[in-house]
Amino acid sequence: MGLGNPGKQYANNRHNLGFMVIDRIAELRRLQFYSGNGPYLWATDTLSDSGNVQNVCFAKPLTYMNSSGVAAREILRQFDLSPERLLVVYDDIDLPLGRLRIRPNGSAGGHKGVKSIGSQLQTEKFPRLRLGIGPQGDGVSAEDFVLADFNEDEQRVLADVIEKSTEIIFDYLQSDIDTIMNKYNPINFREKNTGII
C-alpha cells in the first residue's frame, strides 16, 4: 500500500511519493484500479517465479494521509491478511531525497499516516519502505514542505527513486526481507545524480 492524499491538487506533492510508486507499478504492469470494500482503490496482479504463482494486491487509501490506517484495516479484512503481509510505501522527511530504507517493522517516526496504521492495526509489526524526501530546509514547516511539489532539481533524483522502488517491491515479493535490506538500503540516488560516485 502506497500512502498519499487523493485529488489532483496533491498528485505531485512530496507527501504522495507512495502513490507515485504504486501508480508506476500499475503503469508498468497495465493494472486497473477498482474501488474496494472500504476507502481505498486496489488492483491485483499475478506473479510467477519458477512455477510459484503469487497473487498481489496494490492499494491506495482514499482517506487522506492522517487516516491511512482505516484503509489499511479494511484492506487486510477484505483479503484476510495479517499485518505482516502489508508492505507500506511512504515518504520520509527524516531521510534525504535519494535514500531509502526497507524494514520489517519499526516506529512511525513522526509520520502521521504510519502512526494511523499502527493505531488501527494495533501493531507496528508491518514491513515498510521509507523513501527520503528531506531535508526540509530552514524556516519551512514540515506540513508545508511535504504538501509542496518536488522542485526541478529533485525531479532528476525522483525518477530514479520511483523506478528503483518498483524493483525493490517486486524483488521483496520473491525474496526474504534481510536480503532486500542488504541489497537496497545502502543506495543513494542523489550521489549518483550529482556525480559524487
Which residue numbers are catalytic? Answer: 15
Q: What is residue 195's DSSP assignment? A: T
Contact 118, 45 (CB under 8 A): no
Q: Is 89 helix (H, G, I), strand (E, B) or coil?
A: strand
Gap between the Cα atoms of 197 and 144, Å rounded: 32
Can you read off the three cell numbers belonging to residue 71? 484503509
Gap between the Cα atoms of 84 and 75, Å rounded: 13
Burial of 53 from C-beta contacts in 10 A (0-12 / 13-18 / 19+) = exposed
The single residue listed with the C-alpha cell 499502527 is 118
What's the start-to-end Cα distance of the chain, in Å? Answer: 32
Q: What is residue 74's DSSP assignment? A: H
